[in-house]
Amino acid sequence: VIADKKVKEWKYAVCGYCSTGCSLEVGVNEQGRPVATRGVDDGKVNTGKLCIKGIFEHELSESSGRGVQPLMRDRIFDDYKPVEWDEALDKTAAEFKRIQDKYGRDSVAIVSTGQLMTEEFYTLGKLVRGCIGTNNYDGNTTLCMASAVSGYKRSFGSDGPPGCYDDFEHTDCLMAFGSNLPEQHPIIYWRLKEAMEKRDFPLIVVDPRVTMFAQFADIHLPITPGTDLVLLNAIAHVILKEGLQDQDYIDAHCNDFEQMKDVVDKYDPTTAAKICGIDEDMIRHVARIYGRANSAMSIWTMGINQSTHGSDGVCAINNLNLITGNIGKPGGTSLSITGQCNAMGTREWSACSGLPGYRMLEKEKDRKEVAEFWNVDADFFPPKVGLKETDIFPAIESGQIKALWIVATNPMTSMPNLPRIRKTLENLEFMVVQDGYRDAETTEYAHVYLPGAVWGEKDGVLTNTERRVNLANKFVEPPGNSKPDLWIFNELAKRWDVSQQMKFPAAASDVFDEMKQLSKGDGRTLHIAGMSHKLIEQQRGIQWPMKEGEETGTQRLYSDGHFQTPNGKANLMALDYIENNEVPCEQFPFWMNSGRVVEHFHTRTKTGKLGNLNKYSPTPYMEINPDAAEQLGIRSMDYVRLVSRRGDAVVMAQLTHRVPRNMVFIPFHFHDCVNHLSLGLLDPHSRQPAFKQFSVKIEKVDQL
Ligand code: SF4
């Protein structure tokens, strides 16, 4: 209920949950407390609409579990003692230095998030690489977006989604892979639905489960988990065999067409249909619709990315759009729908991508440019690419990493194979957790806890799925003695002598101005030099690139057919399928699938506290097909024990035809649940885990 009468002032922000990037206003009352949230009518993304999470977002500032004072202890599991900031920061810096002196510079690691402001990511990157001197710094985006990053780089030479939401208004066909848009990104779905109502173009959804999105589709392809690459190769096979490709575009703008064609030749629909578990004529039908459309676009989320073939799957989607000439034109694109509100920010400004502004650590020129700009010695600046989040935990296990700094992420719920992660964290000599929430499960394994401010308590920008940079203004003070992450990074930087020759601006707008300078340069896609906080708010978000002197941003990348590769052409990739999942067997006969529900966000550190969200989705559950349930003697709402080779979890059964007989599904948000079971084999290119492709058995539970 929006209590308008209590609102004294409305303050502009962009939503802090998902990557849709809805513009909103938070109403603050006489006492300065947030009491309401409403959509912004002229918001470019959402034109006034919000989903259930956005509607109740103001409640976040009153939620329980917040940290209000730094905490310290000598040994994990002892009681924490409250301390002053100086003591906590001194201890953190001293322990990092002690461990680096003893074991080497790369004996420490930092895992960040997609939840901070972009200015904070940039500053953290500067502190980690310029002062601490390691590249073992990654974002939790490796759990959700790394395959998209890797696939974009391999195909186009650079990260960055080339399309935008406006493409829905122009496309003649949309194919979605492993994306449940109505629940994961409700306002993007609403945009798509409106466009479909106006122009009635076909929607094809590829997903092993009958998701809400699949229910709304014209064609649903319920493929066997992990076989997307086979399907994509088969679609390309039909398009090429029937001459539906855009040969002029291929000849002018693509490398390695013949190599790709040789591999695709092997994936005829008859062979592919057997592997994918679908009808071969349906593959031909879908290929003809896509190939004959004037413009066609593909979107995807975790069904593609969270796979041992995630990066290849993304490249195969890019292949499909390149051979049909569907990149950089209205309605023709490869659009990865990102997850967190600022997953893009961390990719752009220093975690996954290496160096700020999509510069690469491997390139000496890029390293020198950044070192010079920051005024640090280029020789101190480490050239070796660091460990990804999924490689950091095994490195702790093997003794290579001795100290870990976790910033606003909760691996003790989000990482696969949690029983192993739990033992791993106990091996660390030192761990610091910086998070707005004291009760996030990972905090239990830390020696130092630093209470950070959260969305609404600090200023900065976030980048959404369509590269739109938008402003999230502060509308309330952080509780107790918690501090904005930018302040924490700046204060910590002071503990390294080298910081005295560098600049660490205190205000987010000044950091943004510094980033603008670093975004300049010929041939760069990630230009933000024409933006300012003020202009961003006025325009309700601006899509990069926007160069100095330009009036607004850019809707689409690569419209001129020029890519970020050495010869300016996109790379068509020859991609063979290798079966390397943990597949169902006699002992573990069910595929385990996981995904999101609309009420919750990630590990529920935020949404698990909000009554209006939690009451609609209070507990984990398992979807099971009624025929499979009958065979096992399981009734609706029975509790069952799911067992994998890693661990077990008890959940309530929900009987539904959404899942086939050999599959069960669990929402991933809950602690001590799906990640007690998951294996998380890694994609070799992106190092992203295959959360969705492993096997379990089901046991009845007579008594809880
Ligand atoms: Fe926020 Fe995403 Fe909902 Fe929009 S769709 S209100 S960005 S959670």
Complex ipTM: 0.99
Ligand 1 atom nearest 601 alpha carbon: 8
Ligand 1 mutation target, pool 14, 15, 466, most atoms within 8 A of CB:
15
Residue 565 lies in a domain: no
Whether residue 491 sits in one domain with residue 363: yes
We report the CATH number of the domain holding residue 130 as: 3.40.50.740
| DSSP string for 449-495 | EEEB--TTSS-EEEE-TTSEEEEE---SPPSTT-B-HHHHHHHHHTT
We report the CATH number of the domain holding residue 54 as: 3.30.200.210
Q: For residue 626, how many C-alpha atoms fall within 13 Å in the half-sphere facing its CB?
A: 5
Q: In Å, how far from its chain's centre is CA 69?
A: 29
Whether residue 271 sits in one domain with residue 183: yes
Segment 529-579, tens digit of pLDDT: 999 999 999 999 999 999 999 999 999 999 999 999 999 999 999 999 988
Dist CA 236 CA 257 (whole Å) = 12
Residue 79 lies in a domain: yes
Which residue among 277, 307, 337 closes a domain? 337
Whether residue 201 sits in one domain with residue 312: yes
Please indicate whether residue 15, judged by its CB atom, sits closer than 6 Å to ligand 1: yes
Per-residue model confidence (pLDDT) at position 48:
94
Instruction: Please report the sign of the dihedral spanned by the C-alpha atoms of residue 529, residue 534, residue 535, residue 539.
Output: positive
| Residue 137 CA to ligand 1 centre (angstroms) | 28
In the predicted structure, residue 22 carries a pLDDT above the cut 80: yes
Measured from the Cβ of residue 622, the count of other Cβ atoms closer than 10 Å reads 28
The encoded tokens of residue 488 equal 């924490």
Answer yes or no: are the C-beta atoms of 430 and 402 closer than 8 Å. Answer: yes
Counted domains in the chain:
4
Domain residues for the domain of 21 are 4-62
| Residue 57 CA to ligand 1 centre (angstroms) | 10
What are the percentages of helix, strand and coil residues in the chain, rounded to 5? 35, 20, 45
In the predicted structure, residue 5 carries a pLDDT above the cut 70: no
Residue 382 lies in a domain: yes
Per-residue model confidence (pLDDT) at position 631:
95
- State the average pLDDT over residues 617-632: 91
Residue 533 lies in a domain: no
Per-residue model confidence (pLDDT) at position 704:
63
Cut 0.90: pTM above it: yes
Whether residue 251 sits in one domain with residue 234: yes
| Residue 689 CA to ligand 1 centre (angstroms) | 25
We report the CATH number of the domain holding residue 596 as: 2.40.40.20
Residue 24 lies in a domain: yes
Least trusted range by pLDDT, from 87-101, 376-390, 644-658: 376-390
Confidence category of residue 416, pLDDT binned at 50, 70, 90: confident
In the predicted structure, residue 185 carries a pLDDT above the cut 90: yes
Share of residues in the chain with pLDDT > 70 (%):
98
Segment 85-106, tens digit of pLDDT: 999 999 999 999 999 999 999 9
Segment 108-129, tens digit of pLDDT: 999 998 889 999 999 999 999 9
Mean pLDDT over the full length of the chain: 92
Whether residue 320 sits in one domain with residue 233: yes
| Residue 186 CA to ligand 1 centre (angstroms) | 7
Whether residue 360 sits in one domain with residue 279: no
Please indicate whether residue 83, judged by its CB atom, sits closer than 6 Å to ligand 1: no
Whether residue 75 sits in one domain with residue 52: no
Residue 558 lies in a domain: no
Whether residue 619 sits in one domain with residue 606: yes
Residue 541 lies in a domain: no
Whether residue 133 sits in one domain with residue 216: no
Which residue among 337, 371, 400 closes a domain? 337
Residue 395 lies in a domain: yes
Which residue among 311, 337, 363 closes a domain? 337
DSSP 477: P
Segment 686-695, tens digit of pLDDT: 999 988 888 9
Whether residue 332 sits in one domain with residue 256: yes
534: helix, coil or strand? helix
Dist CA 67 CA 268 (whole Å) = 57
Segment 209-255, tens digit of pLDDT: 999 999 999 999 999 999 999 999 999 999 999 999 999 999 999 99
Segment 143-184, tens digit of pLDDT: 889 999 999 999 999 999 999 999 999 999 999 999 999 988
Query: Which of 237, 181, 147 minimizes the C-alpha distance to 51?
Result: 181
Segment 300-357, tens digit of pLDDT: 998 999 999 999 999 999 999 999 999 999 999 999 998 888 888 888 887 665 788 8
Could you give the C-alpha distances from 392 to 346, 402, 403, 420, in angstroms and in order?
18, 10, 11, 13
Whether residue 187 sits in one domain with residue 139: no
Per-residue model confidence (pLDDT) at position 341:
87
In the predicted structure, residue 4 carries a pLDDT above the cut 60: no
We report the CATH number of the domain holding residue 245 as: 3.40.228.10
Answer yes or no: are the C-beta atoms of 541 and 14 closer than 8 Å. Answer: yes
Whether residue 97 sits in one domain with residue 43: no
